[in-house]
Structure 1
Amino acid sequence: MDFASSSTAGMLFYASRAAFILSRFAFLLVGRRRHTRLYEGHYCGMIYHGRKGDLHIADVVRIKAGWNKISAEPLWKHDRQNDYSMYITIHDSLPDFIYGYWQHNRVMQRFGAFVFRRHNDRGRTRFLGTYIGVSSQRTIQNSTWILDRVDDSKPFTYFDARNLLKRRRALLKNKDLLKSIIEKHRGYFADSKREPFEYRGKSKRLSFIIPSNGFNPDFGKISIPLLQRTIEDVPSLESMSVLDVGCGSGFYAIALAERGAKKCVGLDIEQSTINVARDNARRNGVQALCDFRQSYRNNIFSQLPIKEKYDLIIANLPFTNHWIGKRYKKEALAVNFVSSDKMLFDFFMGVRMHLAKNGKLYMSYGDSGYPNALVEFCELCGLDAEQIDSKKERDETFYIYKISHETSKFIPLRHEDLSIAPAFARTIEGVG
């Protein structure tokens, strides 16, 4: 055999080996990608404290799969204690397990490890496992941690950045939408002899002082219809607890307390507004039934304990999108009308946590807000939204929604699942 033929044979040999190695590598990559895609989706994260016996929603996590890893991005966190990032690993020998570590994004001394086992139940995915780490009190704690997959049969597109410009164009149709309502409020507060707002209650006329630069329900197109529709749907309020989110003058909480509600709690972010709401409760003789609390600006539910549930939640929150709101950023009154999609998402997660099992949320909304986001956020948070009324005005159409828990969105938890979860951690010892 001459040198040329020997060299050609050698080249063919090494080329065939390289092709074989590349094909195996591609096979493994495709297989791994197909395997990791099983985990992709949106999950409701829940923490179970065995000693306390309570289960609460901590976050909503979006899990994305790469070629050789899984990344987890929290979309919502109940409070700063749950502001963390997850770093996840898959092990080929244990395909039903994922494990890794978590790191708090604000306090670097808070970190720990976790392990989950994947379950399939009725075609749905649930990760059940445990975590251990440094708590906010600098002690070591561990609890059962559940990631419950939301039904992704309809993909959630609102968080997709590619839809940003499309949404912006749709929401900027009427840039002067707030001009008339702001001018009406400005004229009201400029009048030194302005009268309190009055509303005919069940047994007497109710009178409300409006906080400085606050919202007057008498000027709102949907504010009073929201209360009337709520009363029609829930004629008997005896023994019911009520939560008024974004209470302002305390209009809804006081009106429902006068109609017989057992307990009415109002939340707002301004202390001066809370003081006016308390004065209005005394003015109308229902101060013993009403409790008004100031919340943090970035979390309207911050003053509610996690286990506190309400039979009825009512909300007439600001909803005009922030792109229109930019035109009024120097206007103090604009805070009563302008909101963001993040605020809407945070609101629904808070409702998911604080609405009683058979409770109802009644809320108003409008076309100038984020109507597509409202539907998707309810789906993502395990809530069922029903539009029960609408009111078409010259500039905008307003809606009233009745929202409740959609129990089919999440697989019911079994007590035996919660009791065996810590054992999963021992299964994976020594792997990694």
Structure 2
Amino acid sequence: MDMTWISIILAVAMVLLLSLGVWVSFTLIAIASIGLILSENYQIGMLFSTGSWGAATSWSLTALPLFIWMGEILFRTRLSEDLFEGLAPWLGKVPGKLLHVNILSCGIFAAVSGSSAATAATIGRMTLPELRKQGYSDRMAIGTLAGSGTLGLLIPPSIILIVYGVAAQVSIARLFIAGALPGLLLVCLFMGFTMIWGQIHKSELPSSSDQDTSWSARLKNLRKLLPVLGLIGFVLGSIYGGITTPTEAAAIGVTGALALAAITGSLSRQSFMDSLLGAVKSACMIGFILIGAHFLTVAMGFLGIPTALAQWIASLQLSPMVLILYLTVFFVILGCFLDGISVVVLTVAVVLPMVKAAGIDLLWFGIFIVLVVEMSQITPPVGFNLFVIQSLTGKNILYVAKAALPFFLLIGLAIVLITWLPGIVTYLPTTMTKG
């Protein structure tokens, strides 16, 4: 059968299965099986078993369930309350006031969670009722949470960066280092916008705050941030300093999270089992998707679709900038219907050959794809963060999406900046590697 017709059949079958609500992992396996049958290769069982074993036993994947478990443990501690109480006295006099707590809390929690959904849910449960009680703009409170919640995808340790690193065979430690500056860039963009908004819309902010902003109160509450900041510094510092691998750092993170839970009195038999069960569910889901994606990659290789697609793209003689523009639109549209990890595993096998052919650095591309996936997390109809925040607020999904729109555009600005100045991504990994 002609390659074009095979590609059309596989694309239609994938859209049909996903629209029917079939699990992403089952869809990937089904599409790979159909592709092998169409190519008259009937060794499906053997290829699936050998491919599954190779995908599931990669040592790099060991860090994934550990970082997920660390986030699940901290999700059940007093961490969120301590973050709010520790940050609030420092932000009472800044334009935008306590709206910045959403941004900074999400940035800090992202560095110990690695999950966008966990970041938005944990911080939202704590900040939204408090901000509403104090009279802050509901729309802006929701917008800052929706936008900042996506930081869990980028700021290390990021689960999606681990998935990309395994799929693209790029060093996970270097990806973690590369995500640091873009993550800080996003935090600065979000806070800058919130300050400007606060100056323009002073009427939508409370005239005064009950929060004590004296230096004694600031220093007293700063102590509440020390445990989590210490854990972040220890985990990421050990990776950046070359002392540990990401997997070893993840094990340290779990140990530190258990210690924090014990110190705060949140560690019980029930909370321990809940965190373990939550981590097992999430890790199994992601692992199953990765197995399906690896099987699809094998099938694509037999069909020759990635090579043919890369050659076709090369024949168009697109500049790297035009290719990046096309891929941005493609990923945002795809992200409207799939979660971030599914977007990565579904597309890496097809996209990487053309990215390599265009001479684009795979390390830089990993951060680029995560930023685009961040945009898709707050894009209707199924931006995952939108659903999380809708469940917290009871607001209409379109209201939440409209509130998140400025932050969607700010992430787009960050993509423009890292494209214009790729050193934002590559400077730290290059410098630390040389060191």
TM interval, shorter chain, is under 0.3
Name the one with the larger strand percent. Answer: 1
User: In terms of Rg, which structure is larger?
Assistant: 1
Determine which structure has greater relative contact order: mean sequence separation of CA pairs < 8 Å that are 6+ residues apart, divided by chain length: 2
TM-score scaled by length of structure 2: 0.23
Give TM-score, length-normalised by structure 1: 0.23
Q: Quick check: which one's helix share is greater?
A: 2
